[in-house]
A and B are shown apart, each in its own frame.
Chain A
Amino acid sequence: MPKKIMTVDDSASVRQMVSFTLRDAGYEVVEAADGKDALAKLNGNPVNMIITDLNMPNLDGIGLIKAVRTIPVMKFVPIIMLTTESQDSRKLEGKAAGATGWIVKPFKPEQLISVTKKVLGC
């Protein structure tokens, strides 16, 4: 059973790149366009890990992380946020909300895989 990872980003190209990379590495990927979309898709379909952007319409990354942590089955699931170097404060905010870690944009596919392996263990 491959691990299921959700990628949340309002940029379709980033989403595409993330899911392409992860699928290539053998993971199953669910895409969501923003926090709201993500929560709707998570409803009843938990995933093993979430990779989310912070700046998004409707519901941003921080809001999503907070909301996900209130879902019992998703309480301990790793959540990785995508940030840029100019967002140190957002990083802390994200951690406080319950994010596991972060990836600094722009990133290379290899970095994405290594972080995924790191927090998922495989």
Chain B
Amino acid sequence: MLDSHKQAFIEEAAELLVSLEYSLLELEQNPEDNEIIAKVFRALHTIKGSSGMFGFDDISIFTHDIETMFDLVRNGEISVTKELISLTLSARDQISAMLKETETQKFADDDITKELVVTFRNMVINTKFISEAAKNSQPADDETVADEEVQKSKSTYKIYFRPATNIFSTGANPLLLLNELKLLGNNIVCHHSEDIPDLENIQEEECYSGWDIIVSTLRDRDTIKDIFIFVEDDCQLTIEILDNTGKLDNENFYSFLESEIGKTTEADYKKLVAKYRLLEQDIQHIRKSEVPEKKKIIEKDDKQGDHDTATSIRVSAEKLDNLVNLVGELVTVQARLTQTANSANDPELVIVAEEVERLTWELRDSALNIRMLPIGTTFSKFKRLVRDLTQELGKEVELITTGGETELDKTVIERLNDPLVHIIRNSIDHGIELPKVREAAGKSRVGKVNLSATQSGGSVIIKIQDDGAGLDKEAIRVKAVSQGLISAETELKESELYSLIFTPGFSTAKKVTSISGRGVGMDVVKQAIDNLRGSVEIVSAKEAGSTIILKLPLTLAIIDGLLVQIGGDSFILPLSVVEECIELSDSDIEKVHGRNLVHIRGEIVPYIPLRKTFNIPGDRPLIEQVVISNVNGVRVGFAVDYVIGSHQTVLKNLGRVFKFVQGVSGATILGNGNVALILDILKIIQNAEAKEKLKVASAN
């Protein structure tokens, strides 16, 4: 087998293991559900079958024992228990380890394998069906290499074959079987036509024929029997040996038979053989030189032909990344082409440029679409996490997932995994109360954690909702004050208070568990989501539980940006956070006495003059534009010279040298070849706030 097949198997097995895990956890909830049992069985079965085929014999043998047990489960002879699920889950982990071992060349713990196998076998044996189980627990037979006793001389067999009348309905063709027999050596075939009914009684789909075949071959009886393997259960088949000395294997015997059989319908071959032997003695002295045996013609099949393409193919992530990069470059070049065409004022060129633009956008969309994966795969992993956690903590929690089909960029999904683990851990550890506490509070013993994903515009919203105790506002405040994060008299909005838990080192947990409480975690979550250019929001009510809402962009490679200009330099603001743009004239500034504030429909919104922030020389135009953004529910404006318009922004990293530059998250190349910096709005706001605080502090 080719290595690529092996790789495909490993990937597929990994997927199967994920679905196996999911099914097992589902089964734990509904131990009677035969459909899930069948699913589990099927997964095990496929793993066993294909692993053997691709040379993973150890996995095949190991899985065999689990499959045997689930066969009993399927037949209702063993019932599904928690132990059984736990055992199977650890077996699943072991298979996964065995798979990895081929990839990493590290060896999984053999002792664990053995231990598990023994446990499984014991479980099987403990059921009533000891004998059957013992029979089944034999691992797959090594391929039975037909021990062909190579005989010294050819034997001559007489075979009688009378297929069942309905043989055609199974798609078998008796003539092919006869042809196969003929390949064995010298032969003669005699047709039995005596059972063929009269024409009016013939059912055209039935077979009424039978055959006698005489064949001389080196092969043994079993080989001949093997030819009929698919039909032997429902046909008449006798194999007699006429001679094993090799004397009958010659042209003379067969031409003799041919002439003799023509005369009799029911030939008695034994008599014929005896007759031939007598005759042979007579003609021995005039025997002609042997005619060389017919050579088998092995037809080489025509290797040409259209190959159907499979419905899906596997492509390495690297190739995809490369494709997206190239598309990104193409988008940039296309923007330049459009601009050149417009400035050249050549209608023909403009038409071409527009065509290219349309195609590029389509290409961009489909290239990005390839990278989209349903988030459900990640969700199913959490079922296992919740199960393990609840057992460890002695809580009862049900994880409900919805919207698993929501698609997100592969990279986003991968980088989302850890933050989600943290959040769910926190929800279960801090949020959900112990069963007794819950009962006392009038809730059901089993806590609920809702994990949902929905798409809204260019972003995906993931909610983690628990019906636990909710966040303790007072505890957070006290803790924050004691850690010096806020002063005792600071008035904070609810959302601001909650966002304190994202501060590094912040934890209100009374005791540190192995799972959480060390204050590491939520800040990591915040960091990870920020890196994904997403946002986190917390909604909570005491005793009713809390909800953590993550808003994430669909993709990381290309974003919709708002192109603005300040003093001849171009900048991009992520369009996803932009709410509106307003004008700002000198008179507006006078009205608020030079403070950086604007009135928007009765609301006062602060703004940051970017020209000043970035120290861009030159005077501001008479009428400035203020781009109002909304970050985590807070509205902040950004004063710029001109707003150019929306821009397909292909993200480029700035490189290591600029790693510590704050307020800029990357750059993009514009149609005219210029570089525009992509603004990190959140960071700019934070810096401005810090500066403001410092000012206030020094003033005091």
Tell me if chain B binds chain A: yes
Within the complex, the shortest CB–CB distance from A71 to chain B, in Å, comes to: 12
> B308 to A31, Cβ gap below 8 A?
yes
> A106 to B301, Cβ gap below 8 A?
no
CB neighbours of B71 from chain A (8 A):
86
Q: Answer whether residue B187 sits at the interface, using C-beta atoms and an 8 A cutoff.
A: no
> B176 to A11, Cβ gap below 8 A?
no
CB neighbours of B39 from chain A (8 A):
57
Q: Answer whether residue B12 sits at the interface, using C-beta atoms and an 8 A cutoff.
A: yes
> A2 to B301, Cβ gap below 8 A?
yes
- CA A121 to CA B230, docked complex, whole Å: 14
Within the complex, the shortest CB–CB distance from A2 to chain B, in Å, comes to: 4
> A84 to B46, Cβ gap below 8 A?
no
Q: Answer whether residue B633 sits at the interface, using C-beta atoms and an 8 A cutoff.
A: no
Given contacts A106-B53, A121-B179, contact A76 B168 (CB under 8 A): yes
Given contacts A17-B1, A84-B49, contact A28 B307 (CB under 8 A): yes
> A17 to B54, Cβ gap below 8 A?
yes
- CA A100 to CA B167, docked complex, whole Å: 9
> A108 to B143, Cβ gap below 8 A?
yes
> B172 to A29, Cβ gap below 8 A?
no
User: Using a Cβ–Cβ cut-off of 8 Å, how many residues does chain B contribute to the interface with A?
Assistant: 57
Partner of A98, one of B9, B170, B175, B179: B170
Residues of A65-122 contacting chain B, CB below 8 A: 69, 75-79, 82, 84-86, 95, 98-102, 105-109, 118-122
- CA A82 to CA B49, docked complex, whole Å: 10
| CB nearest neighbor in B for A30 | B308
CB neighbours of A30 from chain B (8 A):
308
Given contacts A55-B42, A85-B141, A95-B170, contact A105 B52 (CB under 8 A): yes
| CB nearest neighbor in B for A3 | B301
- CA A15 to CA B12, docked complex, whole Å: 12
Binary contact track B504-518/A, C-beta < 8 Å → 1, others 0: 000000000000000
| CB nearest neighbor in A for B39 | A57
> B53 to A75, Cβ gap below 8 A?
no
Binary contact track B41-80/A, C-beta < 8 Å → 1, others 0: 1100110111111100000100000011001000000000
> A122 to B42, Cβ gap below 8 A?
no
Q: Answer whether residue B229 sits at the interface, using C-beta atoms and an 8 A cutoff.
A: yes
> Which residues on B are within 8 Å of A, measured CB to CB?
1-2, 5, 8-9, 12-13, 16, 39, 41-42, 45-46, 48-54, 60, 67-68, 71, 136, 140-141, 143, 168-173, 175-176, 179-180, 205, 227, 229-230, 233-234, 299-308, 310-312
Name 13 interchain pairs, CB-CB below 8 A, sorted by A.
A15-B310, A28-B308, A56-B42, A69-B169, A75-B205, A76-B168, A84-B49, A86-B71, A86-B136, A98-B170, A99-B171, A106-B51, A121-B179
Question: Given known contacts A11-B12, A13-B9, A95-B234, what 9 new A-B pairs fall within 8 Å (CB)?
Answer: A11-B50, A12-B12, A17-B1, A31-B308, A78-B172, A79-B170, A105-B52, A107-B53, A121-B175
